[in-house]
Amino acid sequence: MSFDFAVILAKLPQILMGLGVTILIWVGGTLAAAVLGFAVATLRRFGGRAVDLALRVPIEILRGTPFLVQIFLLYFGGPYIGLRLDPWVAGLLGISIYGAAYYAEIFRAGFQSVPPGHVEAAECVGLSRKQIIATILLPEMALLVLPPSLNMAVILLKETALLSLITVPELTMTVQAIGSQQYAFVESLVILALVYWALVELANGLGRLAERNLSKLSA
Amino acid sequence: MTWKLFSLLLEASLMTIFVSAVSILLGLALGIVLSGMRMSGSRIAYAGAGVFISFFRGVPLLVQLLLIFNLLPVMGITLPSLATAIIGLSLCTAAYQAENLRGGFEGVPPGLVESAEMAGFSRVQSFVWIRTPIALRMTFPALVNEAILILKASSLVSVVGLIELTKMAQNLSASTYQPLPIFASAGVIYLAINLVVAAIGQRAEDALPGLPSK
Amino acid sequence: MRKQLIAAATGAALFASAVAANAQDALDRVMEAGVLRVGTETAFAPFDFIDAGTHTGLNMDVFAEIGKDMGVEIEWITLDWTGVLPGLEAGRFDVVAGPATITKERMERYRFSSPIAEATVALLACAKCDIESPEDIAGKPIGGATGTAQLAQLQAFAETLDTPPASISEYVSFNESYADIASGRIEAVANSLPNIAFVASQRPEVFKVVKPAFGTPTYFGYPGRIEPEFDTLMDKIDEILLAMKADGRMATLQEKWFGTTFDMPDYIIEPNI
């Protein structure tokens, strides 16, 4: 057995396509997850006890079960309740919903970190709820929620690899397919690992940069 | 969804629990070693631990497992599927646990370590007998959290040939064409296991002695 | 970093070839261990599949005979198909059940056993779909399994059509592609006749076999390693398979699992594809 990375690298255009799909689903899914998570956290914060409890259940379910089981349920189980999604739609939706449960918890912790006195004071001077969220809660918790948010984004990037199991033509599926066509299995896995590693380190680096800038701003 | 199918899922979940439990403990031991390497003062050990942690936190577990499964035999090491799955999960969780422990080690009061060393403890002894127990105690909630993450991550080990809860669900779904009730049941079993782990963790957290004040 | 990794990988490769040079004869090793390790996927009914949680199929029966004749235990290692041939090359197991379509390209890489079934590719379609001949897949969503010869033949066939299929989805295993026919996401899957005949017979209300077969006539064999130290092991397996064909045991098993028997050559020297 010898190693031949050239046969894999010869398929660079295909690999870049797969990488593109991975990045699109990752970025799109993470943004959707953060927005959805923020909406859920806000509802829990201001919607009263019943809403808070009702939203806790799906969050616990999503956080207590493997992502793989969730996407299998969505992709293979969905058609039996009339939900017949294309693989990439199922993948994007899966990442968004799964991520939203974690972002909802991140933002909930963020809201809790803001001293209640600040919100009460804002209410007293007659600020609307929207204004309170935009001018008090968001800026005050930004520094606190940024690190776990970035961390979650990186976790979601790695979770996209599982979408290869529901036929989404992302990086893992593409490189593995090339590996089996070219009989260069180990090489394809080594390249796959290196690309993800680089992506994650890049994302971490950007995250550190964002954190530094934000803390400078608020200092 | 019959009781027969559900009981097959329950049976397979024992493998999920076993693989996860062993991996968590091995990962904890390795995580402590990695922490020691980072605090040893040796630059090589520090860099080695850093690269290890960065790699295993930077590559999807699916890819890690496939890589370990296919790369080890090329290096002349052939292990059964069970061992491969445990090694894969342990290496991955070790990287995360080392990160979790870092906070704990940083929180150990320096005075405690100094007085231990004045009392004649070597650096290694104070690491093993003073710093590690305190760091473990301080990061215990993170350990429970990590246990739940690994239970969920173990859903991937079928790629190295192990039949656990998720693979059994896939198999049953394929033979019965009832993906909805079968994957939903698998989800319920994962949820139940994780709720139990979280509850035990909470109990243990309450029962453990309190933290030293800074 | 990259350079170091390639250096490390090259080192590993040199080490591996050094190991290979001193490799023990595979048959001796299997006999000494008393265990023949067989790798396969369990999503390939009726060869290997999971029936109510239990691994079963023609391969189980055939390898039970092989184990009995050799006097060794059979140890099964089950993976996704995309992991099976890599696992064989990595030395995870001694031989692959599968089976795999015997092709020219694969014969350069693997040593195939005497053929055990016909592998000619046809379409499995949803029973109510408007697919009566292979050409009817034009403009329709269809699928296959990643890393299979059947998928390659489907892709080649699709290129001969004036209107290509709407899409060709690639699944990790055939089971998932069948599930997607049942759920209506795709309308047809290309796989070998013995497989799809079995699936259609299990669920005639969901599936139908589209005839004629569009693929080139091919055969299934068990792939093993091509290196010389595996010759004796593969010779031994062939010897047992040929004996099973001669004394009617193979015909009985084919009848049991396929409901029919195949006339097969003893060896495939020059595959059609």
pLDDT tens-digit map of B156-194: 999 999 999 999 999 999 888 899 999 999 999 999 999
pLDDT of res. C15: 47
Q: With 80 as the cut, is the pLDDT of residue C252 above it?
A: yes
Asked which of A2-11, B49-58, C136-145, C187-196 is least confident by mean pLDDT, the reply is: A2-11
Q: With 70 as the cut, is the pLDDT of residue A186 above it?
A: yes
Q: With 70 as the cut, is the pLDDT of residue A160 above it?
A: yes
pLDDT of res. B211: 61
Write phi, then psi, for C178 (nearest 5 degrees): -65, -40
Under 8 Å CB pairs connecting chains A and C tally to: 63
Q: With 50 as the cut, is the pLDDT of residue C109 above it?
A: yes
pLDDT of res. B182: 96
pLDDT of res. A214: 81
Subunit contact A167:C89, Cβ cutoff 8 A: no
What is the least distance, in Å, from the CA of B184 to any CA of chain C? 16
Model confidence at C6, in pLDDT bands (50, 70, 90)?
low
pLDDT of res. C1: 46
CB contact, 8 Å: B145 with chain A? no
CB contact, 8 Å: B157 with chain A? no
Q: Closest-CA residue in chain A for B148?
A: A64
- Average pLDDT of chain C is 90
Residue with tokens 């990160």: B99
Q: Which of C79, C169, C175 to mutate to test the interface with A (most CBs of A within 10 A)?
A: C169
Asked which of A71-75, B125-129, C74-78, C128-132 is least confident by mean pLDDT, the reply is: B125-129
Subunit contact C78:B175, Cβ cutoff 8 A: no
Q: With 80 as the cut, is the pLDDT of residue C9 above it?
A: no
Q: With 80 as the cut, is the pLDDT of residue A1 above it?
A: no
pLDDT of res. C17: 47
Q: Closest-CA residue in chain C for A83?
A: C183
Which has more pLDDT, C264 or A153?
Answer: A153
Nearest to C222 by CA among C28, C31, C36: C36
Which has more pLDDT, A213 or C218?
Answer: C218
Q: Which residues of C touch A172 (CB under 8 A)?
A: none
Sorted by sequence, the CB contacts under 8 Å of residue A133 that are 6+ apart come out as A42
Can you tell me the mean pLDDT for B93-117? 91
pLDDT of res. C22: 52
pLDDT of res. A114: 86
Q: Which residues of A touch B186 (CB under 8 A)?
A: 69
- The Cα C98–Cα C84 span in angstroms is 8
pLDDT tens-digit map of C127-138: 999 999 999 999
Under 8 Å CB pairs connecting chains B and C tally to: 72
Model confidence at A113, in pLDDT bands (50, 70, 90)?
confident
What tokens does C241 get? Answer: 């398979």
Subunit contact A180:C169, Cβ cutoff 8 A: no
SS3 readout for chain C = CHHHHHHHHHHHHHHHHHHHHCCCCHHHHHHHHCEEEEEECCEECCCEEEECCEEECHHHHHHHHHHHHHCCEEEEEECCHHHHHHHHHCCCCCEECCCEECCHHHHCCEEECCCCEECCEEEEEECCCCCCCHHHHCCCEEEEECCCHHHHHHHHHHHCCCCCCCEEEEECCHHHHHHHHHCCCCCEEEEEHHHHHHHHHHCCCCEEEECCCCCCCCEEECEEECCHHHHHHHHHHHHHHHHHHHCCHHHHHHHHHHCCCCCCCCCCCCCCC
- Average pLDDT of chain B is 92
Q: Where are the alpha helices (DSSP H) in chain B?
A: 3-39, 43-58, 61-74, 81-106, 110-118, 123-126, 132-138, 140-153, 165-176, 179-207
Can you tell me the mean pLDDT for C169-185? 91
Q: Closest-CA residue in chain C for B157?
A: C79
pLDDT of res. A2: 63
Subunit contact C183:A84, Cβ cutoff 8 A: yes
Sorted by sequence, the CB contacts under 8 Å of residue C171 that are 6+ apart come out as A167, C143, C144, C145, C146, C177, C180
Q: Closest-CA residue in chain C for B71?
A: C90
Q: With 90 as the cut, is the pLDDT of residue A25 above it?
A: yes
pLDDT of res. C18: 44
Model confidence at C14, in pLDDT bands (50, 70, 90)?
very low
Is the Cβ–Cβ distance between C121 and C154 less than 8 Å?
Answer: yes
Q: Closest-CA residue in chain C for A176?
A: C82
Model confidence at B212, in pLDDT bands (50, 70, 90)?
low
- The Cα C39–Cα C94 span in angstroms is 8
Q: With 70 as the cut, is the pLDDT of residue B49 above it?
A: yes
pLDDT of res. A122: 87
| Nearest-by-Cβ selection for B159 from C16, C49, C83 | C83
Asked which of A202-216, C57-71, C140-154, C229-243 is least confident by mean pLDDT, the reply is: A202-216
CB contact, 8 Å: B61 with chain A? yes
